[in-house]
């Protein structure tokens, strides 16, 4: 059954690509800066966080803005993709009714479009990291692997959230709060070491932490990820895609009736 679905997904790869491109275009349709927003948004976020924490709260980390930037780029990828994908079944209602293609394409194409978005942002922001520490540039291949793992992780969650959003309308009201809390418990603007242990468990149990920390390690500390590190992330990604996929398949019939 899984094999059959994967085969169908493969056959519909053009649909996936078309929907991804259209989604990417739709995100910036009509805006003057267009794709440049992929660069501007994380920069603005990093600048404002930098201002709050170095000027107002007097954090004394060297190159703090780079640290924040290293975490905020994968975080915005995560949160924007998930947010968009959550609504994707409702937005693409008409296409779902067409029936002849694998419907998981809908949330996955959303996530894929944000992956492209993420890469576009990176192309322009990477020089910043390389300027601070030239070694970071050497780990670009590792970054790709990491981005791919994060993509798989988000894709799994996106299927879960998109399905839940249809089946359980309360989710829509809960999301803004959920996403905000999620942001605070992810070490984007603080490092995990700043937290003492009972509290630190919160961040450890938050799966997104491990992806963000990996990005920070490569970009900010300019260190290579260890093999066990990668293996752990791969395991998380697999867990997410298997769980999200299973939830979606189990509820697909119910979902189509509710849309």
Partner 1 sequence: MSIIKFDNVSEKYRIKFVRENKISWEEIWALEGASFEIKEGEVFGIIGQNGAGKTTLLKLIAGMIIPDSGAISVAGKVATLMELGAGFNAEFTGRENIMVNARIYGLKEDVFSRTVEEIIAFADLGKFIDAPIKYYSQGMYMRLAFALAIFINPDILLIDDILAVGDTEAQHKCIKRVMELKESGKTVVVVSHDMDMICRLCDRALLLEKGKVMMQGEPEKVIATYLEASGDKRGIAVMERSGLRVIFNNGKLSISYNGIALTNKQAGYMAFLMPSNTWNFSSNLYWEAKKLPENKVLAEGKSGDGSVSQSWAIALEDDYLCIEAAIKGNFKEPHVDLMFSGQYDNWKTLHEDGVFPSFMHRTNWQDIGMTPSLGRTLALTGSAEASGLPGLVFEVADRDSKTKLLNTGMEFGCHVVQLCLNSTNSISFRMAVFPERKKLEEYLEMKRSQQEQGFGIVA
The closest of 56, 68, 69, 62 to 190, measured between CA atoms, is: 68
Task: Determine the interface stretch with partner 1 among 17-25, 54-62, 121-129, 212-220 (rule: CB under 8 A).
Answer: 17-25
Site string for partner 1, 78-117 (x = CB under 8 A): --------------xxxxxxxxxx----------------
How many residues of this chain interact with partner 1, rule: CB under 8 A?
Answer: 21
Member of 6, 7, 18, 169 binding partner 1 (CB under 8 A): 18
> Can you tell me the distance from the alpha carbon of 244 to that of 118, in angstroms, rounded to the nearest whole number?
22
The closest of 66, 220, 82, 238 to 143, measured between CA atoms, is: 220
Nearest CB to partner 1, comparing residues 5 and 201: 5
> Can you tell me the distance from the alpha carbon of 110 to that of 21, in angstroms, rounded to the nearest whole number?
9
> Can you tell me the distance from the alpha carbon of 230 to that of 225, in angstroms, rounded to the nearest whole number?
7
Nearest CB to partner 1, comparing residues 59 and 96: 96
Query: Per CB under 8 A, does 62 bind partner 1?
Result: no
Nearest CB to partner 1, comparing residues 96 and 164: 96
Q: How far is the CB of 126 from partner 1 (least distance, A)?
A: 34
Using the Cα atoms of residue 95, residue 98, residue 104 and residue 108 in order, give the sign of their dihedral: negative
Nearest CB to partner 1, comparing residues 60 and 94: 94
CA atoms within 13 A on the CB side of 236: 22
C-alpha distances (whole Å) from 139 to each of 34, 107, 143 are: 29, 30, 6
User: Under rule CB under 8 A, which residues in 123-162 are in contact with partner 1?
Assistant: none
Which positions lie near partner 1, rule CB under 8 A?
A: 11-12, 14-15, 18-19, 22, 92-101, 252-253, 256-257
């Amino acid at each position: 059954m899984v094999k059959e679905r994967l085969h169908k997904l493969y056959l519909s790869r053009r649909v996936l690509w078309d929907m991804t491109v259209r989604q990417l275009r739709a995100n910036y349709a009509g805006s003057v800066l267009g794709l440049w927003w992929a660069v501007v948004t994380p920069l603005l976020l990093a600048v404002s966080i930098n201002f709050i924490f170095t000027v107002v709260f007097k954090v004394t980390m060297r190159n703090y803005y780079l640290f924040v930037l290293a975490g905020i780029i994968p975080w915005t990828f995560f949160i924007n993709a998930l947010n968009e994908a959550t609504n994707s079944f409702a937005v693409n209602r008409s296409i779902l009714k067409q029936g002849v293609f694998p419907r998981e394409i809908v949330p996955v194409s959303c996530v894929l479009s944000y992956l492209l978005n993420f890469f576009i942002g990176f192309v322009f922001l990477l020089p910043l990291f390389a300027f601070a520490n030239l070694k970071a540039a050497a780990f670009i291949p590792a970054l790709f692997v990491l981005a791919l793992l994060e993509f798989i992780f988000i894709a799994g969650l996106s299927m879960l959230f998109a399905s839940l959003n249809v089946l359980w309308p309360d989710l829509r009201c809960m999301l803004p709060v959920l996403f905000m809390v999620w942001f605070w418990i992810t070490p984007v603007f603080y490092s995990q070491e700043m937290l003492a242990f009972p509290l630190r468990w919160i961040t450890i149990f938050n799966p997104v932490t491990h992806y963000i920390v990996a990005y920070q390690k490569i970009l900010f500390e300019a260190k290579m990820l260890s093999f066990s590190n990668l293996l752990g992330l791969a395991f998380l990604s697999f867990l997410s895609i298997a769980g999200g996929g299973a939830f979606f398949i189990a509820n697909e019939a119910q979902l189509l009736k509710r849309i």
